[in-house]
Amino acid sequence: MKTQRLATRAAAGTMIVAFALTGCSSGGSGDGQTPEAEGQTAESAEAQNDSGNDESGDAETGDDDASSDDDAEDTKSQDSTTTSSSGLAADADLSKESPSVAPKDAIATAKEEANDGTVHGIELDFDERDKAWQYEVKVIDGSTDFDVEIDAETGDVVNTEKDSSDDKEEAIDLNDPMTFDEALKLAQDEASGRLDGWKLESDDNRIEYQFDFGDKGDEIEVSVDVESKKVTVDD
């Protein structure tokens, strides 16, 4: 009987220890969560923080991209402004530079404006009123003499005037019997300086080039007869 009582007491002690261990395990979590659950919660919070930081970074990147686009647009706008105002300067030397519109194209435009009449004069110089290089092309059609002004950079007709005339003007030719370059070379043998303007016209039964040079404040006018190649200097 004594042996049976000892066994019973030992079993009861074992149960008490087991219950005590179970209680300690439950109390360790504090709020009822297991350590594994707490670890998962911490990881989730960290993931959310990382996600927030990524979104913030993306937003900053987007701002940078937008700023880059704005800078690109500003640069493009500046380039356009520069391109749109480009062309011959008011003090350009026509012996070294030429406007966008060639003389032959200005003549073609003037003939369309003047019923495809006879071209008897063309002049290129800087118009102080319009602040632009302009061609002045003279075309006669029957008894009507047209004076057509054309922008030398855009090719647009600026103005057209008409007068009655009984003159029988001779047609001019930019290449025959003398080209612009040939006439300019003859003129430069007699004068120097910046070429401010030039013209080719029929006048008093002769056709001649006229070149206007600016040399140290002085204006020198040189005429070249296309038939005789005679050079005349008027200063």
Residues whose CB is less than 8 angstroms from the CB of residue 7 and which lie 6 or more positions away in sequence, other chains included = none
User: Mind listing the pLDDT tens digit for each residue in 95-111?
Assistant: 999 999 999 999 999 99
**pTM greater than 0.75:** no
Evaluate whether 192 touches 95 at the Cβ level (below 8 Å). Answer: no
**Of 34 and 133, more confident:** 133
Listed residue (179, 192, 191, 194) closest to 229, CA to CA: 179
Evaluate whether 132 touches 149 at the Cβ level (below 8 Å). Answer: no
Q: Is there a cis peptide before residue 177, judged by omega within 30 degrees of 0?
A: yes
User: Mind listing the pLDDT tens digit for each residue in 4-61?
Assistant: 443 444 444 444 334 434 443 444 444 444 444 444 444 444 545 454 454 444 444 4
- Residue 196 pLDDT > 70: yes
CA 190, 195, 197, 202 torsion: positive or negative?
A: positive
* Pairing between β-strand 206-215 and β-strand 194-203 as defined by DSSP bridges: antiparallel
